[in-house]
Structure 1
Amino acid sequence: MTKYLVSFPGAAMDLTPEEFRLAGIESREVIREAKAAGVYVFGGGIAEDVPSVMVSADGTATDDTYPQTAEFDGGFTVLEVATREEALEWARKIAAACRCAQELREFMYDPES
């Protein structure tokens, strides 16, 4: 089984308040379906009002971020499925429910986990 990240940036959900409400209802239904199918690992949204902290290799922590991820926000779901096609099907369901495109990425295999 392989784990996949399904995600989107916050700006992708350019929805009216009613569309946003419906997207919440429908996306929670897809997550319930994924849980029932046994493929849901975890998911959520990035807390945009909480600043990121950069922890360096020596353990120093600063209120900072990588420049490439300064605008890292939005939502994500991690799924564990048997095939890439199955991951694509779940990403399609999430995209339809959220009313915005989803990015699908595969986690590298770790033989120790």
Structure 2
Amino acid sequence: MSKYMLIMRGTDQSNAAMMADIEHLMAATREFIGDMVKAGVLLAAEGLDDASRSVVVDFGGEVPVVTDGPYGETKELFGGYFLLDVASKEEAVEWARRVPAAPGSKIEVRRVAGEDELPQDREQVAAEGVGSRGAGRV
């Protein structure tokens, strides 16, 4: 089995379409999540807050600079994700095709690298709890 992340990407137009039909879309999403749970493939699923309430930490200079909101040039923003444990990329794509999404939305399908693929010293990685045993915890 391999982990894949289905990343929801929307535009201002697709997000507006989603909000216009939010009740139907949320009901369809609840059903979709139920289907993934029944199939035993869903590891996590979460939506992200509005990008206007985010901050960006830019490492383009010597000192990181923090600014409010998303990058000004962004045409698509991540809106949330589903994390799946499936047999293949093809299976992940089949689940992605079933995501209830507003017209104009996109779903990016990306494999999650395994712990054995990390470039660091394996003993250090294990000692620090990185990978499936605690990656991303701050």
Global fold match (TM > 0.5):
yes
Moved over 6 A (4+): none
Q: CA RMSD in A?
A: 3.1
Q: TM-score, normalised by structure 2?
A: 0.60
Give the structure 1 partner of residue 30 of structure 2: 28
Q: Aligned residues: percent identity?
A: 27
Task: Tell me the distance in 2 between the aligned counterparts of 1:51 and 1:67.
Answer: 10
Give the structure 1 partner of residue 88 of structure 2: 83
Task: Tell me the distance in 1 between the aligned counterparts of 2:67 and 2:19.
Answer: 32
Structure showing greater Rg: 2
Task: Tell me the distance in 2 between the aligned counterparts of 1:5 and 1:64.
Answer: 27
Q: TM-score, normalised by structure 1?
A: 0.72
Q: Quickly say closer, same or farther: Cα 1:51–1:101, change in 2 above 3 A.
A: closer
Task: Flag the structure with more relative contact order, 1 or 2, with Cα contacts below 8 A and sequence separation at least 6.
Answer: 1
Residues matched between the structures, number: 108
**What 5-or-longer segments of structure 2 have no aligned partner?**
117-130, 133-138
CA deviation string 1:42-95 (max 9, x = no partner): 1111122643475x9xxxx98558959x7754121111101111101100001x
Is the 2:55–2:66 Cα contact (8 Å) retained in structure 1?
A: yes
Give the structure 1 partner of residue 7 of structure 2: 7
